[in-house]
Structures are given as C-alpha cells and as structure tokens.
Structure 1
Amino acid sequence: MSRTMKAWQYISVAGGIEKNLHINKSAPKPVPTENEILVQVHVMALNPVDYKVTESGVPLRLLGLTFIPGLDFCGQVAEVGKKVDGFSKGEYVFGAKVGSTGKGTLAQYVAVSKDQAVRLPKGVRPEDAATIGIVGLTSFAAVSPHVKSGDKVFINGGSGGTGVYGVQIAKALGCHVTTSCSTPNVELCKSLGADEVIDYKSTDIINALSSKGPLFNLAVDNVGSPSTLYKASSAFIAPGGKFNQVGMASNLSGLAQLGGNMLRPGCLGGGKAKYQMVMGQNSPSSLQTLGEWMREGKVKSVIDSVFAWEDAPKAYEKLKTGRTKGKIIIKVPQDNA
C-alpha cells in the first residue's frame, strides 16, 4: 500500500483559506495509532469551523505548519489499530474528527480515534451519512438531553447545517417545533417537519415568539441573531426552560454578546432562562442513533451542493457566503485505493 496520498493543504490564510488551498499529490498517508482506525475517505462535508479556527487571528505557527481542512467523513476502513474492537477492514463508517485541527478529512485517508466513527447502517448512502458529523452531534447535544415528548421547542435558524438536524431531532423525539428562516427556505423547514415557521424577512422573531407567551421548553439559537434573543427569552420560555446557544458571529461583537448572555444576570437586564453554549462532542451512541434514524427515514440529509475534488476552493467560497441550504459535500477520488 502506498505511503502517500492526495490531500488539499494550506500553509497560509492570507485572503482566506480558499485562496491558499492546493493539492499535494504525495502527502504522507496517516499512520493510525493502536487506538485509531485509518479511513479511506469517499465523501467529506464542510463546516464553518474548518476555516474559522485558522482564520481567527491565531498565528498558524502555534497550531502547526501544514493544514488539511475538514472534520466530517464517510468512507471505508483501511486499517484497524491493535487496541480497536468493533471495526473490520473494508466496512463503511462515518463520523467526525471532533476537536481536531490540521489533519482533516479533505484527503484520501484520515486517521480517527475509535470514538469518532461508527458503522454505516445498511441502506444509508455515504453522501448522506457524511453530512451528519459535526452538525448532527452538535444538534443532538443541544436538543436530545433537554426535552421530552410533547415539549415545545424553538430552533432559531432551521435551514442551515445544525438547524436542519435540530428540527428533525426534536421531531423524532416527539416535540412540537417552531423554527425561523428566510423566505426561500420556508418550504424546506416545513418539509423537515417543523410545525410552525417564522420568516424573519417579513416577521420580527422576538415579537412573534413573545406573542405566544412563555410556552417553549427549549430554545436553540444556531445563528446569534437577533442579538437580543436571549435577553428577551423570558417572554417566551416557560419556567424551568433552557436556552442553548450553538452558533454566533465569530467576531468581537459575537464574543461580547456571548459574554453578556453568560454573565449578565436577569435582574440587570439579562436573560432569565438557563443558558449554555453547546458544542459537538465525541459520542458514538449519538452517531449511531442518527444513523439509525436516517435508515428509518426519521431524519434525512439536506445537501446544498456536491463539489468535485478539484473544486474544493470553490466549495469553501460558497460555504463562506452563509447562504447554503443544508450541507456542502465533496467527493474524494479513490485512485490510491
């Protein structure tokens, strides 16, 4: 087996990673540790975190020298570490390299820990499973532990990557779901099972929610806009309800908003519901549940676009517009099989 592979890499973020990505046709193939598996990637999906960490102003030399972006993947097991059980060479798996920076999935092979991948259920396409990854894990953590059947949930931003899964997870758990999106995405959100959709282009979200009274058991904010949503949440979150923050602007304004939400008490004008920032964590059981729900038809992927391997920079350009419906995926060539 060859010791090299093709991989998209970058060593600078000047002008954005999409301006610096290049294909290395002889990148070193990862060597899995005894607690890892080596996956031959067939499909990978993009996430904003792929570029936000390295474009955040942190000097690249503190993180590494050469970066391969990407966290989400679906592919076949190529090697199994000595201390790894439950995986066989050749079988399909999917998952996400949660918390990883630099040695990503926009490559022909990726080494992942045994808790970052699960088997692909029969009947589920690799293209669909590749979209679960980070957004599926994050949405599952933001919704599943905090609700029971019959609860009312508000998902702010129902047409993006985390929103698409958040709406469907809440419905799969038996909740009544209200979500928000722009006019072109209203029908998409309805098709995901949302019981009510607020079009923020024509309706003030806070007014629409407040007019219902304090009846929501959980609010999940995937976008951080309007910035006063948490502050106003006491008007629409039921006593004992929670407000989970998933997404927010990655700038000083966003940091100030997050700090205010976490530190300003309700008696001084802050929100009164329990507030927390939710991030995806390694969870094989959550991945397995989402994979089974996809097999059963309870959850479906929403793929905005499929890019060829050679067009990876264009895929990141589109991701950065913030106008995608669901996920962007890239098919990875298998000529090094």
Structure 2
Amino acid sequence: MKAIVQREYGSPDTLRLEDVDRPDAGPGHVLVRVRAASVNAADWHVMRGDPKLARLQLGLRRPKAPVRGRDFAGEVAEVGTGVSHMLPGDEVYGETGMTDGAFAEYVRAPAGQVAPKPDGLTFEEAAALPLAGCTALQALRDVARVQPGQRLLVNGASGGVGTFAVQIGKALGTHVTAVCSTRNLDLMRSLGADAVVDYTTEDALAAGERFDVVLDLVGNRSLRELRGVLTERGTLVLSGGGVFDGGSLIGPMALIVRGGLVGRVVRQRIAPFTATPTAERLTALAQLAESGRVRPVIDRAYSLAEVPIAIRYLETEHASAKVVVTVP
C-alpha cells in the first residue's frame, strides 16, 4: 500500500510517499481502508521530535512508528479478534493514538478509538473531527464541566480545536467569547460565537470581563493574566503552548513552563490535560454533528502525496480550522 513514511526527525522534507506492507487488524483492532485523513499540530510535533523529551516515547533517534497521521475516516476492511461491534464495510472514523499511520491507504487502529462515521458528513469532514473535536469536547464537558449559562472564553478560537470548542460551548449552553485574528471574525460569528475579539486590535484579557471558564489553546499569555479574567471559582483549561499530542499541555510540567503552580490557586482551578479520543467521545461528537450543532470547517484539502505540503502549511501559515487529506 502507499503511505507517507518518515525515517528520521526533521522538516516536511523527511516525509516520503512509499510502498509499505499493509498491516493486519490484530486483536482488539480494526483495519480501515482510509478515504480521508486530517492534519493536526501533533503530526508536525512528532515529525520534528518536538519536544525532545517526547522522544523517550516516540523513539530516541528516529520515530518508532514510521507512518505519520492520526485522524482518519474510511471503511472497515478487517476486524481483529475481540471486536464484535464493527463489521467489514462499515463506514467509521477515529484516531490511531500514538501508533500513527493514518496517512496511508490502510490504517490499523484500536477499536476503542473508532466509531461509526456521522451520517451526513463526507469522509473529509468526518476525518476532521477526531483529535481536534475530542480535545474540545474533553476540555469543556469533561475537564471544565461547563454548565448552561456560564461564560466561556476561547483563546485561539479559529484553529482546529478552537472551531470545535466554540460550537461545543454553544451546544452545552454557554455564552462564548471567541478570540481570533481579523480574517476569522466572520467565521467565528458563523459558528455561533456570542462575542468575537480581534486580538490584533484589542486585548480580551484587558476588557474587564470575567469568565467561568477560559480555554487557552495558544499558550501566549501568562497564568497570572489568564487567572485575572476568571471568576472567583472559575476554571482555566490549558491545551496549548507548543507541546505535542493534539496541542495539549501534558502534566504539571506545563504549569511550571507557564509560570505558576496549582498550589498557588485557592478557589480557581487550573486544569492541564492530555487529549484522549475514545469511542464514547467520538460517538458524542457524531451525535452533535448529525444534529447540526457541530460542523467541521475545512481550510484546505490535499492529496496523499501532498501531505508534506499540508503539514508545512499547517505549521507555518496559521491555517484556520482543519486541513484534510483525501486518499483516493
């Protein structure tokens, strides 16, 4: 089969379209014929082996998993032993986890990270959902536990996670303030944001407003600044700042990097987390998509051979929303 392969850490120039062996499903896994995939910040962080500490898990000198890509949508080709809720031919979407491999004609994925493709979405739209959508859902529903009527600030609202966070925040009944650049103001309004702040002309953190939940997807402001716009018992969710795994900051180290510690906060809650797509979250996303409350926004689409171009675009051009890959 054709796949995008990486033999060493580095720039998109290290990626090659090659012929590799097709994987087997294996116990507890499914083999999916990929129809579309999407590009995440995680892909270029892994591609570059950044941060270097992550290489303890990814591979010290070169990637353990040579095929890049995590998000996919397609048709089940094989099911492994122990998998009874999917059959060959089922249209599905999901995420591979740290094994990667979605930039290929076939991908092997854990059954617990695969779910039925949302009705009414194309394969490209479905492939845009898994990691970014699950990150937004986990951040707001599971970590922040947002409630109807609360006020939510999304810093970095026009990115892949941000576009889903704005919509999921509205679906959960919050008042959403979206922070983005000038070119994305209309996009934020079309996604349902109640207020939109253009960070090139005004500072959302200096307006005097207070929020029950702040979701930071950029990592460009200090903990002191972000805490300053929280209510007395508000929650700050950290899912940005240049660390791999869907852009999620990992563990207490993130708080040190950002200039503070949880112990310094008495009533406010600071919550870094690692994005974890699961079948339950994928199913919940599918229901939101099928109801029309969440719609994937696609910036650009590329072919499988153009994956290096797609990753370079996402990494350097500040793409809005999602970048997808079509696999013929």
TM-score (norm 1): 0.87
- Partner of residue 122 from structure 1, selected from 97, 119, 122: 119
CA contact (8 A) 2:232 2:267 kept: no
User: 2:225 corresponds to which residue?
Assistant: 232
Identify the range of structure 1 (55-64 vs 284-293) with the bigger mean alpha-carbon deviation: 55-64
CA distance in 1, matches of 2:15, 2:266: 42
CA distance in 1, matches of 2:115, 2:65: 28
Structure 1: tracts of 5 or more residues without a match: none
- What amino acid is aligned across from residue 77 of structure 1 in structure 2? V
Q: What displacement does 1:273 show?
A: 2.2
- Partner of residue 35 from structure 1, selected from 10, 25, 28: 28
User: 2:138 corresponds to which residue?
Assistant: 141
How many residue pairs align between the two structures? Answer: 314
CA contact (8 A) 1:154 1:179 kept: yes
- What amino acid is aligned across from residue 52 of structure 1 in structure 2? H
* Structure 2 SS opposite 1:311: helix
1:20 aligns with 2:14: yes
Q: What displacement does 1:53 show?
A: 2.8
* Structure 1 SS opposite 2:205: helix
CA 1:271–1:201 in 2, change beyond 3 Å: closer, same or farther? farther
Identity among equivalent pairs (%): 30
CA contact (8 A) 1:233 1:271 kept: no
CA contact (8 A) 1:51 1:69 kept: no
CA 1:36–1:66 in 2, change beyond 3 Å: closer, same or farther? closer
Q: What displacement does 1:70 show?
A: 0.5
Q: What displacement does 1:193 show?
A: 0.5
CA distance in 1, matches of 2:194, 2:27: 47
* Structure 2 SS opposite 1:127: helix
Identify the range of structure 1 (112-121 vs 64-73) with the bigger mean alpha-carbon deviation: 64-73
* Structure 2 SS opposite 1:190: helix
User: 1:10 corresponds to which residue?
Assistant: 6
User: 1:241 corresponds to which residue?
Assistant: 234
User: 1:318 corresponds to which residue?
Assistant: 313
- What amino acid is aligned across from residue 174 of structure 2 in structure 1? C
1:294 aligns with 2:294: no
**Residues 309-329 of structure 1: per-residue CA shift (max 9 Å, x gap):** 221111111011141111110
Q: What displacement does 1:264 show?
A: 3.3
Aligned ranges 1:1-337 → 2 under 5 Å: 5-14=1-10, 16=11, 18-25=12-19, 27-55=20-48, 56=50, 57=52, 58=55, 60-61=59-60, 64=63, 67-98=66-97, 100-101=98-99, 103-145=100-142, 146-208=145-207, 211-212=208-209, 214=210, 216-225=211-220, 227-228=221-222, 230-250=223-243, 258-261=255-258, 263-264=260-261, 273-333=268-328
Q: Point out 4+ residue stretches in structure 1 off by more than 4 angstroms.
A: 59-66, 254-257, 260-263
Larger RCO, structures 1/2 (Cα 8 Å, 6+ apart)? 2
- What amino acid is aligned across from residue 295 of structure 1 in structure 2? E
- What amino acid is aligned across from residue 187 of structure 2 in structure 1? L
Q: State the structure with more CA Rg.
A: 1
Q: What displacement does 1:236 show?
A: 2.2
* Structure 2 SS opposite 1:115: helix
CA distance in 2, matches of 1:66, 1:249: 21
CA contact (8 A) 1:30 1:111 kept: yes
* Structure 2 SS opposite 1:282: coil
Q: What displacement does 1:292 show?
A: 1.6
CA contact (8 A) 2:156 2:218 kept: yes
CA distance in 1, matches of 2:288, 2:327: 26
CA contact (8 A) 1:262 1:275 kept: no
CA contact (8 A) 2:35 2:75 kept: yes
TM-score (norm 2): 0.89
CA contact (8 A) 2:181 2:200 kept: yes
Q: What displacement does 1:276 show?
A: 1.5
Give me the CA root mean square deviation.
Answer: 2.2
